[in-house]
Structure 1
Amino acid sequence: MAEQFYGQFGEDRLLADMFRDGGAGVCVDVGANDGVTGSVSLYFERIGWRCVLVEPNPDLCARLRRERASFLFEGAASAARGTTTLMLAEGADLSHAVSSIEPGARDGIRRQGLTVREVAVATAPLDEILEQAGVAPGEIAFVSIDVEGHEAAVLAGFNLARWRPRVLIIEDNSIFFGNGLRGLLERQGYVRFRRTGVNDWYAARGDAVAGERPEQAYRTSMVRARGLMIRRNLSDRLLALPGVGGAIGHVLRSLRGQSSD
């Protein structure tokens, strides 16, 4: 029976090849969405891995409980324990994909012709979430972080020296200059070695998964991926056009959804 993968840009297929000979492992999916669409972790759950899922959207959490068997933290991974407001985008298919807890999210969502529903959500450092899930330091194969601009805050609550995941996959929607995380992660012993779509891949320095020349490998994969980002930037400009942005947004979200299937 053929293997079934779900990742938006083939991340789970690449990870499966990377860790194929290591047996069942542990993975962490921060911004788990509905647990199926574009999921980096679903394939691994189905082959017996332990997965930790983090998702603040209560509607998506309801589906996660139906579709997935893994540990779920309903809330946002962040720098500290507390509560915050999730700007939940509504009004079109797949609109939830641009929901965010970042300042200024409301205006960005409305520019796309969508409405905003405010939802109070819990926050907790990823360190605490992993402890709740019973994860032990050193056993995490990979962590995927897709949190619509909140990546730095997630890393602020995640002690890499303690947990030492082998691979980090972090969304970066910037065009040319990066999201500012490269230097932070290099100081903690992680180097970039691959880019898929809008995601940068990091590995612990010296780990075989990064290859012998990680930065060279990153540059090669980055060229194609940045082309995708330029196209997305152009689409965002179209979304901001008065009167037609909402209609264009509906078409683009539909196309992005199809690319995730």
Structure 2
Amino acid sequence: MISYSQNLEDVILWRALKDIKNGFYVDVGAAWPEEHSVTKTFYDNGWKGINVEPNVRHYNRLVSERERDINLQMAVGERAGNLEMTIFSDTGLSTLVPEIADIHSQNGFNRETVTVPVITLLELLEANLPAHQPIHFLKIDVEGLEEQVIKSCDWERFRPWIVVVEATLPLSQAESYEGWDHILISSGYILAYVDGLNRFYLASEHSELLPKLKYPPNVFDEYVLSKQMKLEAKLHGHQQEIKELNQEISTLQSNLAVAEQSSEDFHRRLRDIYSSTSWKITKPIRFIKRFFFEKTSRQQLIIRIKVFIRKIILRCISIISKNQEISLLSKRLLNRFPIIKQRLIRMQKSSFSSLSHYQSDSMSIRASQIYQDIKQAVENNKKDK
């Protein structure tokens, strides 16, 4: 079973009453339809009943989530009428007892005062309990008004099988059952179990259930807390999200591997093209196309012509230097023209000569110039250091 109650009250009640199909409950001070609810497990298992709750927020949720139940927005007291009630929204602490309300306010709870209708427990059952319907359990949690509620019922006419009453002062362990315990005992009820917060009374005509109320919740009850269920569901949701993220990562890794393989194949094919005979044969055509047909400014055209002339001159120097006789003859000839000789030496040593070594056939004149600028900047940086 799933336990929703604050102190495992529903575990004890389920142990005693789980064999009853379509049972009936009365919850005086019902509060939330799920959180801290003693009746939620029973409702989920086909039971129905009466929920009494004066806090309008809790009442509206009960109406929304408990369609089979009879939901009443009122309080139960010793006499019928209208009373001022202190509401502590989003808590189960709303009370008709001013002294208790003051304590909660001192503890920092926000309060508001409203007027609520009050009915006796006897009138409530007479007006709302279906004919011949047994009450399998009655829970009373009215924040300090338990004595008035118990006094307001005819325990001879209405005989809930089990009565569960909160028996301590609100938010404390101080016991508060002296004023009403004797009423139930004298009405034929047996104190069957105490859990530190509530006292469980069993109608003497159902004493066969007494052994089932003897022990506190334990491993044999096979219960799980609703909070634990929610945490496990949230954890499962996160695990599912992690699984989906891992799948996305795996897909991305696969796509990346495919992309890397495609890139490698592309570069391999590109290398094959550059090293092919046809690429080498068509080199002059590409050069002519770049040199004469690309749209360029006058300055860019001058740079191209200079680079072209330098390439030719440097190529000639390279060829001449490989032939000793021609090289000696050239040096003698150049000695007669020292100015031309110095210019050729400077040209050979200039950065343009190194540029010819790095410039590929696919590099445009503009790209060559950018490369030269970057190279010159790197050399200047080295000198500065």
Write the distance in 1 (CA, Å) between the matches of 2:165 and 2:175: 15
Residue 101 of structure 1 pairs with residue 108 of structure 2: no
Q: How does 1:15-54 map to 2 (within 5 A)?
A: 15-54=13-52
Give me the TM-score of the superposition, normalised by structure 2: 0.51
CA contact (8 A) 2:140 2:164 kept: yes
Q: Which has the higher strand share?
A: 1
1:211 corresponds to = 211
Q: Which runs of 5+ in 1 are unaligned?
A: 222-256
SS of alignment partner, residue 108 of structure 2: coil
* RMSD (Å), alpha carbons: 2.6
CA contact (8 A) 2:168 2:175 kept: no
Write the distance in 1 (CA, Å) between the matches of 2:50 and 2:107: 32
Residues 17 and 79 of structure 1, relative CA distance in 2, 3 Å threshold: same
Write the distance in 2 (CA, Å) between the matches of 1:177 and 1:81: 27
CA contact (8 A) 2:167 2:175 kept: no
Write the distance in 1 (CA, Å) between the matches of 2:153 and 2:70: 18
Q: How does 1:78-157 map to 2 (within 5 A)?
A: 78-90=77-89, 94=90, 96-136=91-131, 139-157=134-152
Residue 7 of structure 1 pairs with residue 2 of structure 2: no
Q: Which runs of 5+ in 2 are unaligned?
A: 217-225, 231-385
CA contact (8 A) 1:137 1:163 kept: no
Q: With CA pairs under 8 Å and 6+ residues apart, which has the higher RCO, 1 or 2? A: 1
Q: Note the alpha carbon deviations across 1:170-199, whole angstroms, 9 max, x for none.
A: 001154654212222111111211122411
CA contact (8 A) 1:87 1:105 kept: no
Write the distance in 2 (CA, Å) between the matches of 1:178 and 1:61: 27
Write the distance in 1 (CA, Å) between the matches of 2:101 and 2:50: 28
1:163 pairs with 158, 161, 165, which one? 158
CA contact (8 A) 1:138 1:165 kept: no
Letter in 2 for 1:27: Y
1:251 corresponds to = none
Residues 258 and 24 of structure 1, relative CA distance in 2, 3 Å threshold: closer
SS of alignment partner, residue 118 of structure 1: strand
Give me the TM-score of the superposition, normalised by structure 1: 0.74
Q: Which has the higher helix share?
A: 2
How many aligned positions are there? Answer: 215
Divergent runs of 4+, >6 A: none
Residues 66 and 23 of structure 1, relative CA distance in 2, 3 Å threshold: same
CA contact (8 A) 1:137 1:164 kept: no
CA contact (8 A) 2:193 2:200 kept: yes
Residues 120 and 178 of structure 1, relative CA distance in 2, 3 Å threshold: closer
Q: Note the alpha carbon deviations across 1:198-229, whole angstroms, 9 max, x for none.
A: 111001125222239x8xx5xx86xxxxxxxx
% identity of equivalent residues: 27
Write the distance in 2 (CA, Å) between the matches of 1:177 and 1:109: 18
